[in-house]
């Protein structure tokens, strides 16, 4: 590596390793946030062109992070006092059928390191005899972590959950009968009634029934581009016209969408007078990863109907205290000038004349219009180029301190339409000089934090995902169906 590359490499390694090892650090999003910030800063300084540089960065960070987490888990859950050092780490990994990442070659891959099983038709962790396979190191760590958390103090055996766990798993399809669903629902409602501080962590599955594209996974393409590659400051600096056309398309989809029954249920749970029906002495905050604004619209609609008023949807300070949009908002526009930084809410359609009609060109073969920067959205205060008010890769989340405080005191966490486990992504385009993403997603950590603190976790999702073993209650099916049925909130107060 050249000198700038070496400097960046050392800075990243130092950042990943310097944090003190503690129970909290295994779920600390700041570690990865600092890594991304340093990487973006060094990237701007060095402008490397070779793809091997990015691979070196990613391998080092993934390797160090997974080693850290294994060591913490050993100290907390499986001392194995007759062994020391790396022997303890490897022994713990073998006990749960995992391969200890012993070299940087065990990197985060685009594909999953899982294969089907009778219990999990879609997901199950790779067995230990996959010695020659490159595993997702963070995924392996999480499997060890969630199993240790679940079985610590509960059982002295290693086993996977199964459909016989009636009190923990329920679904609205034929895999389990109605009596099992009822038992799980009763247990959940009892926990809900005793809760004092409730949070809900929502993801793309919440808005799926409203027709909002998720742009996640293998099908996450817009035109001929991987949609994830357009969600970065580097992409905007390189081609603001393309990025604005992408977000204009998303704005138009969100403007045409309406909240579904799951949005409405969470909005009802946000109203103290209605929440008293099921959780009489509780607080509630929704933490959403979605940027479509449908949760705000749902909350506004519910409040308006209760008050008999009809006004334009907006985000008041009172609503914001019950809802945190951690990834920002599609309908916020932010000035790119460092001396201005003005932010405003803008639901104008189209947001500027030059973008009109571009939302209809979404196919891979669509002809791309190169809109001059002067015709793109501008700051209403200073006239500089404006950008979408969403959180891009490499940028800090919205209200991180408030989220951490809420998670720390929560005794019940509802996970709606997203995974409750840690996820690691690598998004790297060969031949491109930009590392799009390496992260352990903070939103996936919150349920685990609540669990670690002694709280309950209830997952509402379309299908099983890794990490569901941590859930005290698991409801499988479309969120717009299962959430209203389980919460069973009445509008009459």
Any idea which residues carry the catalytic annotation?
327
Q: What is the dihedral of CA 113, 118, 121, 125, to 10 degrees?
A: -20
Does the annotation list 73 as a binding residue?
no
Q: Which residue has the tokens 């459909």?
A: 163
Does the annotation list 47 as a binding residue?
no
Does the annotation list 413 as a binding residue?
no
Does the annotation list 292 as a binding residue?
yes
Does the annotation list 203 as a binding residue?
yes
Is the bond preceding 120 in cis, omega lying within 30 degrees of 0?
Answer: no
66: how many CB neighbours lie within 10 A of its CB? 25
Task: Specify whether the backbone of 60 is left (phi greater than 0), alpha (psi in -120 to 50) or beta.
Answer: alpha
Does the annotation list 130 as a binding residue?
no
Does the annotation list 215 as a binding residue?
yes
Does the annotation list 289 as a binding residue?
yes
Does the annotation list 206 as a binding residue?
yes
How far, CA to CA in Å, does 91 sit from each of 77, 78, 101, 110, 154? 13, 10, 13, 28, 21
Does the annotation list 80 as a binding residue?
no
- CA 100 vs. chain centroid, Å, equals 25
Does the annotation list 454 as a binding residue?
no
Does the annotation list 52 as a binding residue?
no
Q: Which residues pair with 114 in a beta bridge?
A: 125
Does the annotation list 251 as a binding residue?
no
Does the annotation list 42 as a binding residue?
no
Does the annotation list 321 as a binding residue?
no
Does the annotation list 217 as a binding residue?
yes
Does the annotation list 113 as a binding residue?
no
Does the annotation list 205 as a binding residue?
yes
Does the annotation list 432 as a binding residue?
no
Does the annotation list 449 as a binding residue?
no
Give binding residues for Zn(2+) as ranges.
335, 340, 379, 382
Give binding residues for substrate as ranges.
247, 250
Give binding residues for NAD(+) as ranges.
203-222, 289-292, 417-419, 461-463, 479
Give binding residues as ranges.
203-222, 247, 250, 289-292, 335, 340, 379, 382, 417-419, 461-463, 479
């Amino acid at each position: 590596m050249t000198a700038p590359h070496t400097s960046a490499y050392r800075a990243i390694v130092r950042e990943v390793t310097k944090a003190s090892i503690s129970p909290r650090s295994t779920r600390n999003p700041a570690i990865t946030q600092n890594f991304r910030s340093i990487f973006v800063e060094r990237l701007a300084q060095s402008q490397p062109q070779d793809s091997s540089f990015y691979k070196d960065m990613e391998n080092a960070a993934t390797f160090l992070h997974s080693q850290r987490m294994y060591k913490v888990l050993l100290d907390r859950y499986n001392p194995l006092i007759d062994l020391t050092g790396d022997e303890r780490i490897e022994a713990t990994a073998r006990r749960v059928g995992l391969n200890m990442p012993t070299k940087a070659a065990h990197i985060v891959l685009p594909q999953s390191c899982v294969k089907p099983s009778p219990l999990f038709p879609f997901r199950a962790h790779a067995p230990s005899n996959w010695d020659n396979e490159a595993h997702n190191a963070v995924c392996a760590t999480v499997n060890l972590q969630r199993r240790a958390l679940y079985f610590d103090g509960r059982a002295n055996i290693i086993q996977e959950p199964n459909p016989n766990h009636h009190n923990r798993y329920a679904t609205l399809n034929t895999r389990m009968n109605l009596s099992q669903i009822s038992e799980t629902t009763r247990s959940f409602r009892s926990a809900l009634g005793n809760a004092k501080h409730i949070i809900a962590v929502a993801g793309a599955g919440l808005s799926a029934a409203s027709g909002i594209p998720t742009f996640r996974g293998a099908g996450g393409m817009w035109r001929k581009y991987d949609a994830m590659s357009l969600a970065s400051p580097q992409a905007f600096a390189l081609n603001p016209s393309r990025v604005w056309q992408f977000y204009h398309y998303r704005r138009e989809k969100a403007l045409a969408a309406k909240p579904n029954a799951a949005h409405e249920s969470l909005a009802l749970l946000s109203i103290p007078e209605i929440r008293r029906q099921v959780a009489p002495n509780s607080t509630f905050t929704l933490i959403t990863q979605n940027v479509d604004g449908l949760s705000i619209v749902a909350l506004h609609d519910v409040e308006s109907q209760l008050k008999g008023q009809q006004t334009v949807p907006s985000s008041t300070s009172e609503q914001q205290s019950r809802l945190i949009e951690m990834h920002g908002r599609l309908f916020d526009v932010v000035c790119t000038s460092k001396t201005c930084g003005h932010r405003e809410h803008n639901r104008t359609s189209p947001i500027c004349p030059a973008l009109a009609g571009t939302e209809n060109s979404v196919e891979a073969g669509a002809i791309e219009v190169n809109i001059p920067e002067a015709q793109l959205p501008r700051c209403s205060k200073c006239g500089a180029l404006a950008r979408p008010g969403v959180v891009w890769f490499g940028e800090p989340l919205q209200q991180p301190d408030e989220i951490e405080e809420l998670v720390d005191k929560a005794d019940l966490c509802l996970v709606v339409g997203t995974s409750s486990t840690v996820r690691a992504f690598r998004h790297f385009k060969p031949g491109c000089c930009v590392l799009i993403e390496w992260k352990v997603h903070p939103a996936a950590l919150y349920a685990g934090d609540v669990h670690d603190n002694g709280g309950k976790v209830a997952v509402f999702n379309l299908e099983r995902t890794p990490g569901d073993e941590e859930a005290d209650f698991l409801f499988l099916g479309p969120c717009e169906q299962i959430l209203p049925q389980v919460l069973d909130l009445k509008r009459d107060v």
